Structure 1
């Protein structure tokens, strides 16, 4: 049912269909520690790629390889969720290569821009969490439907734009026009709102789902956070170019 879905595929009911199979249940603290561990992995890899680029090395293949690996790992996790305990850290490493690459390019053209994007991402995460915890925003069926539809549409636009690139057609989303900036702004907004759905689902499944599902929950949060950071960095870069 729609009430048990989020815009993040990591939190679909598919991953929670055996929530009575273990006496050791999922906890928020468990997800927190696993998330911190994976974020540290991403940070370490990012710093390494940043250092390579600063020394004049090409990092093009790190970016492509990281992005492709993250997609493949996500697909594998989707069908083999019991492998998540070692696949999610690998996903974090792959995303580290990808984020390290795009952050290095951004920093080279606009010094300290990645730091600002990280700051905005952290502030946004905390703000959305507070809005959810204080119930200033209630995740109703209508809000959930709007967020899911919008996120799916945004991903579809990116996929179509990526395919068009193989035919030499440059989509507007990669440009710096006001339409492209508006699109990035909307994408960043819904990336942050997708966290609401993740928080809501985790709260409903805590102390119910098996302990092993903490890795799936961690993966879901990483997907949302990486998307939010990437959209924020892309938006800030386009604004920097325009102004």
Structure 2
């Protein structure tokens, strides 16, 4: 489960509102062959005029027309990098889910290892590609087993949950890109309080289910009816809203990371944050649909 945005972005000192400064940087910090990179003597080897050299107007115009270096060329985080790495992690989740679907015994180990790796990656200051991809695979094992179990009970529920996840993601992205919805400090504080309450409820409910405190209720306290409505429906709607806001925090973190010129390795942190949130969103939608269909 995602606990709001990507903690690597929030905790890392590299994330600040001050744009990166490249002036006076030593030659080794520039990518090889980058126009304007200073040599040990302090001047560019290629791309710009050096003291004592004469250039024709055509040569100067050609140098002026050279395109600026991209974020990737400068070894900086870019939106393309984040998209590629997110696709890679989600693809591994799908592969793990396919395996878990046919080998349900992997569901519990996948859930435990996935939770541990998720916590490790969340609090690790430097992103680890191997740990992030491992998280995606084991989380896939859990999703495959859980989805396969519910699909046998309620035919077609997995497709419905996948479509629901895609719709929420698309709507959230459109709202964010339009500038109509932003993560203000006040909303973020409210989100963290609500998320803490949800996490506490989930922990208590899991303990009740684990020790059989509510026999005959497959979802624990979520099966309790309040004014004829299962508590799980109310909690599920709130959780989906929290997951959607978590996506807004992820988008904000990625925007800040690209604008502030973070090193390219933090694209893995962004991909991890998005993957965690999307997995959480899918599980909440799947469980909500199961409660609704089981209540028919």
Q: Same fold (TM over 0.5)?
A: yes
- 1:139 Cα shift? 2.1
SS of residue matched to 2:77 = coil
Higher helix share: 1
Q: Rate the CA distance shift 1:114–1:41 in 2: closer, same or farther, 3 A.
A: same
C-alpha distance in structure 1 between counterparts of 2:155 and 2:14, whole Å = 48
Which position in structure 1 is the counterpart of 2:291? Answer: 238
C-alpha distance in structure 1 between counterparts of 2:198 and 2:221, whole Å = 13
The correspondence for 2:197, drawn from 142, 149, 153, is 153
1:135 aligns with 2:179: yes
Q: Which runs of 5+ in 2 are unaligned?
A: 22-28, 30-73, 215-219
Which position in structure 1 is the counterpart of 2:221? Answer: 172
SS of residue matched to 1:65 = helix
Paired residues in the alignment total 229
1:28 aligns with 2:76: no
Which position in structure 2 is the counterpart of 1:86? Answer: 130
SS of residue matched to 2:183 = coil
Which position in structure 2 is the counterpart of 1:68? Answer: 112
Note if contact 1:172-1:179 (Cα within 8 Å) is conserved in structure 2: yes
- 1:166 Cα shift? 4.3
Q: Rate the CA distance shift 1:237–1:164 in 2: closer, same or farther, 3 A.
A: closer
1:48 aligns with 2:99: yes
- 1:12 Cα shift? 4.8
C-alpha distance in structure 1 between counterparts of 2:145 and 2:281, whole Å = 16
Q: Rate the CA distance shift 1:10–1:94 in 2: closer, same or farther, 3 A.
A: farther
Q: Rate the CA distance shift 1:166–1:36 in 2: closer, same or farther, 3 A.
A: same
C-alpha distance in structure 2 between counterparts of 1:149 and 1:209, whole Å = 29
Greater mean alpha carbon deviation, residues 64-73 or residues 77-86:
77-86
1:228 aligns with 2:225: no
Q: Rate the CA distance shift 1:218–1:117 in 2: closer, same or farther, 3 A.
A: same
C-alpha distance in structure 2 between counterparts of 1:124 and 1:235, whole Å = 14
The correspondence for 2:267, drawn from 214, 222, 234, is 214
Q: Rate the CA distance shift 1:222–1:186 in 2: closer, same or farther, 3 A.
A: same
1:188 aligns with 2:185: no
TM-score (norm 2): 0.71
Q: Which runs of 5+ in 1 are unaligned?
A: 1-5, 53-58
SS of residue matched to 2:179 = coil
Greater mean alpha carbon deviation, residues 74-83 or residues 43-52:
74-83
Which position in structure 2 is the counterpart of 1:8? Answer: 5
C-alpha distance in structure 2 between counterparts of 1:132 and 1:78, whole Å = 24
Q: Rate the CA distance shift 1:8–1:83 in 2: closer, same or farther, 3 A.
A: closer
C-alpha distance in structure 1 between counterparts of 2:272 and 2:200, whole Å = 21
Which position in structure 1 is the counterpart of 2:155? Answer: 111
SS of residue matched to 1:206 = helix
**Larger of the two Rg values belongs to structure:** 2
TM-score (norm 1): 0.86
Note if contact 1:176-1:241 (Cα within 8 Å) is conserved in structure 2: no
Note if contact 1:176-1:242 (Cα within 8 Å) is conserved in structure 2: no
Q: CA RMSD in A?
A: 2.1
C-alpha distance in structure 2 between counterparts of 1:233 and 1:105, whole Å = 11
